A and B are shown apart, each in its own frame.
Chain A
Amino acid sequence: MESGLSSLLSVSIDFETSHLFFPHIIHWVLGVLFALVLVFNVVPFLAAVRRGERSLPILGESMDKFRFFGTLVLIVAYFQTMSMVGNFFPYTGYGFLFVSMVFLFLMSLMYMHTRTRRKVLTAAINALVAPTLAWFILARLFQITLP
């Protein structure tokens, strides 16, 4: 009995494939946990959705589609153009500086609910000042690499 138990527990790890040993276990654990979550949480939840007691996350909720997807699009565009512009002026941080100004202004405009002259002006000043300040302190004073 004793030897049976110890042989059951014994394990040898081949160095060549040792990088897969732990991930393999984690996959199994994940799989089992996912099944349990499915049975105990997801199925009852879906049943509640069908009865109309709960609503599906994201799909079944009301959301501000314009601002949500607008944020995503703006961020992607921001990251992409930043590195493109940054390649024109390597090691200066100008890519960050100029693209940030545009990004800050557009994002501010998008998040405003009412656009008065005063608010737009505040946003414009902020869009000019904040990136300049960040760029000056970080890239110039602290010599930190920026795109």
Chain B
Amino acid sequence: MLDILSLLDITFFLLAALGALVGIIFGAIPGMTATMAVAVCLPLTYALGLNHGLALLLGLYVGGISGGMVPAVLLNIPGTPSSITTTFDGFPMAQKGEGERALRVCVVASVIGGLISAIVLFLFAPLLAEFSIKFSYVEKFLIILLALTVIASMSRNMLVGIFSGVIGIWLSLIGTYSISDGGNGKTRLMFDFLEPYLFEGFSLLPVLIGIFGIATILLEAEEGIKSGLASQNIKFGKGGGFSFGIFRGRLTNLVRSSFIGTFVGMLPGVGGSAASVLAYTQEKNLSRDSSEMGKGAPQGLMASESANNALTGGALIPLLSLGIPGDSTTAVLIGAFTLQGIQVGPLFIPENADTWYVMMTALVFANIVMFFLMFYAIKHIAKVVLVPKYILYPIIVMMCVVGAYAINYGIMFDVWTLLIFGVLGYLIQKVGLEVAPLIIGFILGGQAEVYFVKSLESAGSYGIFFTKSPIALVLWGLIAASVIFSVVMGLKSQAKRQVEAS
């Protein structure tokens, strides 16, 4: 235990705090998300050691998710997708002149959600890792298949979701079938003249930075970079009016919402909005006094914000124990970990116990810093929603370039990858394909290939995927369940639409 304490120095805590602050600022600017905060700030971690890098990244993650509450309450615009339900009660409260009170309720709910999910992560991830350590290639392949099915079934349209995921897998196969994975080292899916650039395929981080950074800028540019925010008046209300008494009798709500958030966070690729919407509707259904919800009731804020901060711990569970990212932010984190030489997966926690404790410390500390920063300095932080975009966006493009260029120590092709995937990300979103499944497919595609081909090479029959072990059958059951769930939900909503139409 003592040697872990020696890994935690002042710089570690300062970086976690800095990360939380920068994350909050990113989250608070509408249109920018925690994912972007992590992607844009990646170059800063290149030069940091493992522990310091983790502190900064986790700070950014927690801060980014939390910051979304600021514009949600003050402007009725969710700063991140997961704070959508915060607008329902937050904006009415701000209209009544209770903006600061609403934000403080959100902050307290957020820190509770974050800490509960950190506890669940701490207890559950090692168990899951220990369980999955015995998995052979067959089960690992099926886990990836399950992850992709779950993501797809949570998409707006399952078919489109799966299609997007498979496109992601296809993109990940460009390059060589790596010899280090037992392949034959030959290239595929490209023209010969591209071989010097694409020998190892597209690098993960430029792809992610392109899709989350450049594509967002393009989408905003198409809308004409609206500058309308400054004209809206922001209603803070007078300070005070907040006391912890608001939370009396709300413990069930907080705990329930936190657990909902953690659980939804665990499901791979499911966006944060699902967590807060689910928590909000549960509070509405189960609470005795839900009539005020939607008109400015603090309990709605509590449900929404505790659920969306609980995502952080939840999304880290599959990342650290299975190597499967739980959402798009953790997808960027996986790239950052690889950069630091960490291979996430079942062996991560047992083999890197120190790193694991350091991560938990950073996560908890980032939550606490987030709380104090936002609780006491919220008035000042909230002003960043007014920073003009014509200043902000050029800086973001610049940081994207740094991140992409420096990642492999100065390869200009990585910068062009940024543009390629920026444009691709823009097109994907325009034609209605889904980004999250595509990214997860891209990240997991390479591994899926190795697990699939190696299983078949050793067994010589497709039957191995069914007969390998009872776990394989359970996984097939889960895959079938998520497909059926999605189909049933699809039919239900179709029937509902027809009823409404007639």
Binding site for B on A (CB under 8 A): 5-6, 9-13, 15-16, 18-23, 26-27, 29-30, 33-34, 36-37, 40-41, 57-58, 63-64, 67-68, 70-72, 75-76, 78-79, 82-83, 96, 100, 103-104, 107-113, 119, 122-123, 126-127, 130-131, 134, 137-138, 141-147
Task: Give chain A residues whose Cβ lies under 8 Å from the Cβ of B448.
Answer: 22
Task: Give chain A residues whose Cβ lies under 8 Å from the Cβ of B186.
Answer: 19
A142:B46 contact, CB within 8 angstroms:
yes
One of B66-74, B87-95, B393-401 contacting the partner: B393-401
User: B163: nearest residue on chain A (CB-CB)?
Assistant: A33
CA distance A6 to B463 in the complex (A): 7
B173:A111 contact, CB within 8 angstroms:
no
A-B contact pairs, 27 of them (CB 8 A): A9-B461, A12-B460, A13-B453, A16-B184, A18-B177, A18-B184, A19-B177, A22-B449, A30-B166, A33-B162, A33-B166, A37-B163, A41-B157, A41-B159, A57-B430, A58-B431, A64-B222, A75-B422, A103-B398, A108-B390, A119-B388, A123-B391, A134-B402, A142-B47, A145-B409, A146-B406, A147-B405
B391:A20 contact, CB within 8 angstroms:
no
Interface of B is mostly: helix
Beyond A22-B453, A111-B390, list 9 extra A-B contacts (CB 8 Å). A11-B460, A13-B456, A79-B412, A103-B398, A108-B390, A134-B402, A142-B44, A144-B46, A146-B405
User: B457: nearest residue on chain A (CB-CB)?
Assistant: A13
User: B219: nearest residue on chain A (CB-CB)?
Assistant: A68
B401:A96 contact, CB within 8 angstroms:
yes
Task: Give chain A residues whose Cβ lies under 8 Å from the Cβ of B412.
Answer: 79, 83, 147
A126:B395 contact, CB within 8 angstroms:
yes
B contacts with A, residue count (CB < 8 A): 68
B453:A21 contact, CB within 8 angstroms:
yes
Whether a CB of chain A sits under 8 angstroms from the CB of B170 is: yes
A19:B46 contact, CB within 8 angstroms:
no
Binding site for A on B (CB under 8 A): 43-44, 46-47, 157, 159-160, 162-163, 166-167, 169-170, 173, 176-177, 183-189, 214, 217-218, 221-225, 227, 388-391, 393-395, 397-399, 401-402, 405-406, 409-410, 412, 415-416, 419, 422-423, 427, 430-432, 448-449, 452-453, 456-457, 460-463
In the complex, how many angstroms separate the beta carbon of A38 from the nearest chain B beta carbon? Answer: 10
CA distance A57 to B433 in the complex (A): 12
- A13-B453, A22-B449, A123-B390 as given contacts; A58 in contact with B399, CB under 8 Å: no
- A9-B463, A13-B453, A64-B223 as given contacts; A138 in contact with B401, CB under 8 Å: no
In the complex, how many angstroms separate the beta carbon of B77 from the nearest chain A beta carbon? Answer: 19
Task: Give chain B residues whose Cβ lies under 8 Å from the Cβ of A110.
Answer: 390
CA distance A45 to B184 in the complex (A): 43
Which one of A27, A64, A134 lies within 8 Å of B399 (CB-CB)? A134
Interface of A is mostly: helix
B391:A126 contact, CB within 8 angstroms:
yes
In the complex, how many angstroms separate the beta carbon of A57 from the nearest chain B beta carbon? Answer: 4
- A12-B460, A64-B223, A146-B402 as given contacts; A30 in contact with B170, CB under 8 Å: yes
In the complex, how many angstroms separate the beta carbon of A14 from the nearest chain B beta carbon? Answer: 10
Which one of A16, A18, A79, A108 lies within 8 Å of B391 (CB-CB)? A108
Most chain B CB within 10 A, of A34, A36, A137, A142, is at: A142
A108:B166 contact, CB within 8 angstroms:
no
Most chain B CB within 10 A, of A19, A27, A107, is at: A19
B405:A11 contact, CB within 8 angstroms:
no
Task: Give chain A residues whose Cβ lies under 8 Å from the Cβ of B461.
Answer: 6, 9-11
User: A59: nearest residue on chain B (CB-CB)?
Assistant: B430
User: A45: nearest residue on chain B (CB-CB)?
Assistant: B432
In the complex, how many angstroms separate the beta carbon of A68 from the nearest chain B beta carbon? Answer: 5
CA distance A79 to B410 in the complex (A): 13
B184:A11 contact, CB within 8 angstroms:
no
User: A108: nearest residue on chain B (CB-CB)?
Assistant: B390
- A6-B461, A57-B432, A111-B390 as given contacts; A104 in contact with B401, CB under 8 Å: no
Which one of B159, B167, B394 lies within 8 Å of A30 (CB-CB)? B167
CA distance A28 to B116 in the complex (A): 44
CA distance A111 to B396 in the complex (A): 14
B184:A15 contact, CB within 8 angstroms:
yes
